[in-house]
Amino acid sequence: SDDGKLSFDEFKAYFADGVLSGEELHELFHMIDTQNTDNLDTEELCEYFSQHLGEYENVLSVLEALNLTILKAMDKTKKGYQEASNLEQFVTRFLLKETLNQLQSLQSSLECAMETTEEQTRQERQGTTKPEVVSVQWPGKRSARRLQKNSLLPNSPHFNTGWTEEDSQWMTQINRLQKLIDRLEKKDLKLEPFEEEVLEENAKSHIMIVQRQMSVIEEEIEEFRLALKQYVESASTQGGCLHVSIQKIPSDSRFIVYEFWENSNAWNSHLQMNYSKAFQRSNVDFLETPELITTMLVPGKYQFFTFF
């Protein structure tokens, strides 16, 4: 309301989460209303929630500091970007994008945590139990990189005789990128300048490469493998998915997933799919720390490296 206080209807409209009943919200409202005015002011709300912050007191404090730090950096960027050199502008754009990627990764983890806690509460209230997850052993001896077939491969259910020359070029490009990643991991390459190429200023002409690093709780590895297998199988059937590859780090319980998408739009659409959200929700229970996501756009015609 305009007086800065919340009536019960306003309180209910803001705090209703689909889990607490109207009666429980009414009880909570009167618990917070220590002055018995049938309205809540800011002081009463702050007093109630400050008693239940726990670990989130530090989280909110850090977020406040982070917000100020980002605003300060943005202000400095705004003032100095136009006068900066081309190289300095490039570095600024890269740092902005990397900051955004890290924040989006953190946001994704928080959203999954919210969905998971809400779903668990609903199940408890409905008297249902969490379905048992059957562990599936993956074959022990495999190459470090596991290739998942996608819609461009001949034995895919989406393959048909209308496979175009452009599709073939996509696969050639993916194979080249796959070899590039293998070489980078083995550190067995030389980087040399190649001929300059004029590129289209169009996001659809760039392949989106996504690297997802996940540190799994030791006791949850088998269930994580099953969830990851289901995720990869679902992602690989998407029209915009070119390739998915998995690497298990032998020295620890860390998995790295490489995903190749036709463009950033295909990747963003994939994130909204139910199977993708389900995998992120399951990771709340499986991962020791939030996953680290790194993305990179590369030209559709990629010829920057010579291998020996």
pLDDT number for residue 107: 83
Summarize pLDDT for 254-300 with one digit per residue, the tens. 899 999 988 888 988 999 999 999 998 888 889 988 888 888 887 76
* CA dist list (Å): 244 to 168, 171, 178, 205: 17, 12, 10, 19
Q: Enumerate domains of the chain plus CATH numbers.
A: 8-50 (no CATH), 145-299 (3.30.70.100)
Least confident of 27-36, 88-97, 210-219: 88-97
pLDDT number for residue 198: 53
Summarize pLDDT for 8-27 with one digit per residue, the tens. 888 888 888 777 888 888 99
CA angle 62, 285, 112 (to 5 degrees): 60
Q: Which residues 6+ apart lie within 8 Å of 259 measured at CB?
A: 208, 209, 210, 212, 235, 241, 243, 244, 245, 267
Summarize pLDDT for 149-196 with one digit per residue, the tens. 333 333 443 334 344 555 555 556 566 666 666 555 554 444 444 445
Residues paired with residue 246 on neighbouring β-strands, in sequence order: 146, 257
Gap between the Cα atoms of 60 and 65, Å rounded: 9
Tally of CA atoms within 13 A in the half-sphere of 126 that contains its CB: 10
**pLDDT higher for 124 or 73?**
73
Q: Are 7 and 39 in contact (CB under 8 A)?
A: yes
Summarize pLDDT for 88-121 with one digit per residue, the tens. 888 888 888 888 888 888 888 888 887 788 777 7
pLDDT band at 224 (very low <50, low <70, confident <90, very high): very high
Gap between the Cα atoms of 270 and 208, Å rounded: 12
